[in-house]
């Protein structure tokens, strides 16, 4: 068993308490970093955001920060990303073009992992979440006219044709998973472990109509397990299939310090739920096509690693055996890209996978101040032309957006 596999085993079986785990592993990293060769960055890496004392980042790995011809880059500009994981301070939304950074809007609802769900709808319009008039909303901003279209609900993920979005409870995420929720409003369901209340909504981006799809109780009743009895439930990481007909969601429940996760797929009207993977641990996923999903997860007959699964079947196959650490995978139609969390010497890596071939294209140092809930995940995303990868990185001492040529 390699050292990385041993570390994963210790993480899962010995250091189950999060506070103890972070303390012990942090000390372990500091000791090894002192004696390890010092690496800041390796690879064909170019910085896209300014060196002006602010921190810049884009957000999650399922969205591209470039417009269609890659002449404009979206980013969030903030004073600090190391104070809290979910912030209510003002963040500026900027468009970077030909080295010029222009502030186009602001938001007060953002987090260090997924920002404010900032994204392009088309070359003229962007979308982001905000908190206004004591409620969470989403804003469609026309960059040419400055006109805003307000939708009275935040969004989590948008369909590929930009006609609708899915959303979830950002206040519950703030309490149960800092770094993914919003801190502006108190959670209405905090006293309920398994609320019989909506946890996933569908949002029509044309009309603004918001339709409830599923309750927390719906997930608990769907193929229940004994570990769910008395457990606290949440959902996270919605992703819509390329054709917009189905979505995946991680259903998580907690028994004390023990966390369970399963991957569920569903029609976009809330019907035809399918329990795709239920071996206690599922992490980051991506749709390869309308029928197949790639994910880092656990299988009882194969252990942790990357697997490709066929929706609504029990067919799965382990892939890329050399990638033993968790990461954020995405697919551009030809190749995959993924990353790693900081290893024992605080080095993160970016890998491109072409079939069975795995190539490391970059390594970057992650400063110790970017740890725990305020960590800086690379979240690699393919450029529009598939020739480069865009990451959020912190090796310069502040978050910035970087481009890696493949």
pLDDT at residue 284 in the model: 98
Mean pLDDT value across residues 37-62: 96
State the burial class of residue 295 (Cβ atoms within 10 Å of its Cβ: 0-12, 13-18, 19+). buried
Q: What's the rounded Cα separation, in Å, for the pair 87 and 150?
A: 21
Q: What's the rounded Cα separation, in Å, for the pair 208 and 202?
A: 10
Grade residue 34 by pLDDT with cuts at 50, 70 and 90: confident
Lowest-confidence pick of 8-12, 110-114, 220-224, 392-396:
8-12
- Cross-strand bridge partners of residue 126: 120, 141
- Ordered strands of the 125-132 beta sheet: 119-120, 125-132, 135-142, 148-151
State the burial class of residue 122 (Cβ atoms within 10 Å of its Cβ: 0-12, 13-18, 19+). exposed
φ and ψ of 176, to 5 deg:
-95, -20
Nearest to 260 by CA among 284, 232, 301, 286: 232
Biggest CA-to-CA distance, the chain: 59
- Ordered strands of the 330-331 beta sheet: 41-43, 357-365, 347-354, 336-339, 330-331
The structure tokens 């450029």 sit at 383
| Total residue count of the chain as it appears in this document | 406
Q: DSSP string spanning 69-95?
A: TS-EEEEEEES-SSS-SEE-S-EEEEE
Q: What's the rounded Cα separation, in Å, for the pair 276 and 262?
A: 8
pLDDT at residue 38 in the model: 82
Query: At 29, is the secondary structure helix, strand, or coil?
Result: helix
Task: Report how far apart the first and last C-alpha atoms of the chain are (Å, whole number).
Answer: 31
Q: Which two tokens stand for residue 280?
A: 């206690």
pLDDT at 109 over 80: yes
pLDDT at 332 over 90: yes
> What are the pLDDT digits (tens) for 290-306?
999 999 999 999 999 99
Mean pLDDT value across residues 355-361: 97
> What are the pLDDT digits (tens) for 223-252?
999 999 999 999 999 999 999 999 999 999
What distance lies between CA 348 and its chain's CA centroid?
A: 16
CATH of the domain spanning 36-405, picked from 3.30.70.3270, 1.10.8.10, 2.40.30.160, 2.130.10.10: 2.130.10.10
Record the pTM.
0.93
């Amino acid at each position: 068993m390699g050292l990385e596999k041993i570390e994963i085993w210790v993480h899962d079986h010995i250091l189950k308490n999060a506070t103890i785990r972070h303390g012990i592993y942090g000390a372990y990293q500091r000791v090894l970093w002192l004696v390890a060769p010092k690496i800041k960055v390796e690879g064909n890496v170019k910085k896209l955001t300014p060196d002006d004392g602010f921190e810049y980042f884009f957000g999650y790995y399922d969205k591209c920060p470039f417009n269609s011809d890659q002449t404009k880059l979206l980013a969030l500009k903030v004073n600090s990303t190391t104070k809290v994981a979910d912030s209510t301070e003002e963040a500026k939304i900027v468009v970077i073009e030909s080295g010029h950074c222009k502030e186009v809007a602001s938001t007060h609802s953002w987090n260090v992992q997924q920002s404010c769900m900032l994204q392009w709808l088309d070359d003229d319009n962007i979308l982001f979440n905000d908190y206004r008039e004591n409620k969470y909303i989403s804003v469609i901003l026309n960059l040419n006219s400055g006109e805003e279209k307000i939708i009275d609900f935040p969004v989590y993920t948008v369909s590929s044709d930009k006609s609708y979005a899915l959303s979830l409870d950002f206040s519950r995420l703030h309490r149960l998973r800092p770094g993914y929720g919003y801190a502006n409003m108190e959670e209405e369901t905090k006293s309920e472990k398994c609320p019989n209340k909506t946890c996933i909504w569908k949002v029509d981006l044309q009309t603004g109509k918001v339709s409830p799809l599923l309750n927390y109780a719906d997930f608990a009743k769907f193929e229940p397990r004994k570990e769910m009895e008395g457990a606290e439930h949440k959902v996270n990481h919605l992703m819509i299939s390329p054709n917009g007909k189905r979505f995946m969601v991680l259903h998580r429940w907690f028994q004390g310090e023990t966390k369970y996760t399963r991957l569920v797929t569903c029609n976009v009207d809330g019907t035809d739920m399918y329990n795709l993977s239920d071996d206690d641990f599922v992490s980051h996923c991506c749709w390869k096509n309308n029928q197949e999903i790639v994910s880092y997860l656990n299988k009882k007959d194969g252990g942790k690693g990357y697997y490709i699964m066929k929706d609504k079947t029990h067919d799965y196959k382990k892939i890329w055996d050399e990638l033993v650490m968790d990461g954020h995978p995405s697919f551009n139609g030809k190749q995959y890209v993924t990353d790693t969390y900081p290893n024992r010497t605080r080095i993160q890596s970016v890998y491109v996978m072409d079939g069975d071939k795995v190539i490391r294209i970059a390594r970057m140092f992650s400063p110790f101040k970017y740890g725990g809930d305020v960590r800086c995940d690379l979240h690699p995303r393919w450029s529009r032309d598939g020739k480069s990868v865009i990451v959020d990185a912190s090796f310069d001492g502040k978050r910035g957006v970087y481009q890696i040529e493949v």
